Amino acid sequence: MEDKKTIKRVLSGIRATGRLHLGNYLGAIKGMIELQNNNEYETLYMVADVHTITTPYKIEELKINRREVLIDYLAAGLNPKKSIIFLQADVNEHTELAFLFSSIMTIARMQHLPTFKEKVIQYPQNATMALLNYPILMAADILIYKAGLVPVGIDQEPHLEVAREIARKMNQMYGTDFPEPVRFATKGEYIPSLTGEGKMSKTVINSFINLTDSLEEIRKKIRSVPTASVAGGEMSSGLKSLFTFANLFIPTEVENYKKEFNAGTLQFVKLKDAIAEAIFAELKPFQESREKIASDQKYVDEVIADGAKRARKIAQQTIKEVKQKMGLL
Ligand code: ATP
Ligand code: MG
């Protein structure tokens, strides 16, 4: 008999709040692809459409975005023959398990999460129960598949801590066998915002480069990064961000640019344009592949239907186990 424990499960997802950006690609998708292409793992990748409603959204945009994110997944190299690719809303068990999990987490614990506090500042009029519950739903997304490895950016670490806490508590209180999930990190685990403050985010305007941006758009956006620094002196946060991009996209040229900066001879626009060109070169194959996939919407429908079926099968099993252990079945 095959030993179930030798196949490790992986789960990750991206909110359908807009079009994917460089941070999503480097911090999450690159890791998702690496694990998908490693036979030791069974990978499940969802579009986190239910998570989208935890912050204000437009119905028509959500409908479009969740499909666009899935197409982005496919164009980036997620392969339905190797991974279960699905829409979160197609598997009801996620929200069901989240409710069961919410019975063991206190309000105080959830209110103290830095991600909750940040989103409350971003949306002061919309600090909803759904927002407070976001990390509990995320724990359910992961644990419903008993996934032990989660390829996500560093901003998600506090949420993974919650997922581990829930796994531990559930195992202690109800005798379940949830793993304590850990993050699978990539080199681009934190991509800064183009504004020079905070991280690149779909929902923060002027912060991001989309995966579908043209060379012209990328050049314009990178040129807009504030660089006001006294040459040779302390680097501004915008300039530090530029060097983060340089490290990722033009690693062999970074030393030279640093030397120029220290000597006071650095031409910012030269550095910026070199970065923009390297970013575009990396995105070009993705953009070409995306056009092909988007022209075959029937194929996209098939991927969605097949993913839902396969994900549900695992999720239903876990819900059954948990309800039995909790005395509800
Ligand atoms: P939103 O503003 O709606 O929260 P987001 O840009 O933060 O959007 P998410 O859908 O929350 O994107 O996150 C999707 C994945 O991308 C997660 O794994 C997250 O850690 C990763 N990610 C998001 N932003 C960055 C970033 N700037 N650098 C690296 N990884 C990131
Ligand atoms: Mg986010």
pLDDT tens over the chain, length 329 residues: 444 555 699 999 999 999 999 999 999 999 999 999 999 999 999 999 999 999 999 999 999 999 999 999 999 999 999 999 999 999 999 999 999 999 999 999 999 999 899 989 999 999 999 999 999 999 999 999 999 999 999 999 999 999 999 999 999 999 999 999 999 999 999 999 999 999 999 999 999 999 999 999 999 999 999 987 655 567 889 999 999 999 999 999 999 999 999 898 999 999 999 999 999 999 999 999 999 999 999 999 999 999 999 999 999 999 999 999 999 99
∠ CA 157-162-165, rounded to 5°: 125
Q: Can you tell me which atom of ligand 1 is nearest the CA of 200?
A: 27
Tokens of 161: 């801590």
C-alpha dist (Å) from residue 66 to 70, 97, 141 = 6, 22, 17
Ramachandran bin of 193, using left for φ above 0, alpha for ψ from -120 to 50, beta for the remaining angles: beta
Nearest ligand, CA 27 = 1
Q: SS3 for 183? A: strand
Question: Considering only CA atoms, which residue is closest to atom 23 of ligand 1?
Answer: 24
- Ligand 1 atom 18, closest CA: 152
The alpha-carbon radius of gyration of the chain (Å, integer) is: 21
Asked if 6 contacts 41 with a C-beta cutoff of 8 angstroms, the reply is: no
Q: How many angstroms separate the alpha carbon of residue 201 from the centre of ligand 2? A: 6
Indicate which atom in ligand 1 lies nearest the CA of residue 154.
Answer: 20
Residue owning the nearest CA to atom 11 of ligand 1: 15
For residue 261, the tally of other CB atoms under 10 A from its CB is 19
Q: How confident is the model at residue 242, as a pLDDT? A: 95
CA-closest candidate to residue 139, choices 183, 98, 193, 85: 98
Q: Tell me how far apart the 2 most distant CA atoms of the chain are, in Å.
A: 72
Specify the ligand 1 atom closest to the Cα of 48.
10
Residue 119 Cα: closest atom of ligand 1 = 4
Whole-number Å distance between alpha carbons of 317 and 86:
17
> What is the rounded CA–CA span in Å between residue 202 and residue 19?
7
How far apart, in whole angstroms, are the C-alpha atoms of residue 7 and residue 9? 6
Nearest ligand (C-alpha, residue 54): 1
Specify the pLDDT at position 143.
98
Atom of ligand 1 nearest to the CA of 188: 29
Pocket test of ligand 1: the residue of 20, 22, 24 to mutate, having most ligand atoms within 8 Å of its CB, is 24
Ligand nearest to the CA of 57: 1
CA neighbours within 13 Å on the CB side: how many for 265?
5
Distance CA 203, CA 220 (A): 19
Any idea which ligand is nearest the CA of 141?
A: 1
* DSSP notation for 160-171: HHHHHHHHHHHH
Can you name the residues that pair with 21 across neighbouring β-strands? 210
CB count in 10 Å sphere of residue 301: 11
